[in-house]
Amino acid sequence: MSEKSAASSGLRERKKKATRAALTEAAVRLAAEQGAEKVTVEAISAAAGVSVRTFFNYFESRDDVFVMTDAESGARVRRKLLDAPPGLTPLEALRDALTAELAEAEQQHELWLLHAEVLRAAPHLLVRLLGAHLADETELAEAIAERIRPGGARPGPTAPAASDEDRRKELDLYPRLLAAVAVTALRVSAEHWCARPEERVFRDVFREVFALLAAGLPAPPA
- The tens digit of pLDDT for each residue in 25-66 reads 999 999 999 999 999 999 999 999 999 999 999 999 999 999
What integer best gives the mean pLDDT of the chain?
85
- Nearest-Å Rg of the Cα atoms of the chain is 19
pLDDT at 157 over 90: no
CATH among 3.40.50.1000, 3.30.43.10, 1.10.540.10, 1.10.357.10 for 69-216: 1.10.357.10
What are the pLDDT digits (tens) for 64-86? Answer: 999 876 667 888 899 999 999 99
66 vs 161: CA distance, rounded Å: 26
Residue range 131-159: average pLDDT? 74
pLDDT at position 159 is 47
pTM: 0.74
Instruction: Count the Cβ atoms, other than its own, within 10 Å of residue 122.
Output: 19
pLDDT value at 152 more than 50: no
Confidence of residue 213 (pLDDT cuts 50, 70, 90): very high
Instruction: Name the maximum alpha-carbon separation found in the chain.
Output: 60
| Span 186-199, average pLDDT | 83
Q: How far apart are the first and last CA of the chain?
A: 58
Residue boundaries of the structural domains of the chain: 1-66, 69-216
Identify the CATH homologous superfamily for domain 1-66: Homeodomain-like (1.10.10.60)
- pLDDT at residue 105 above 80? no
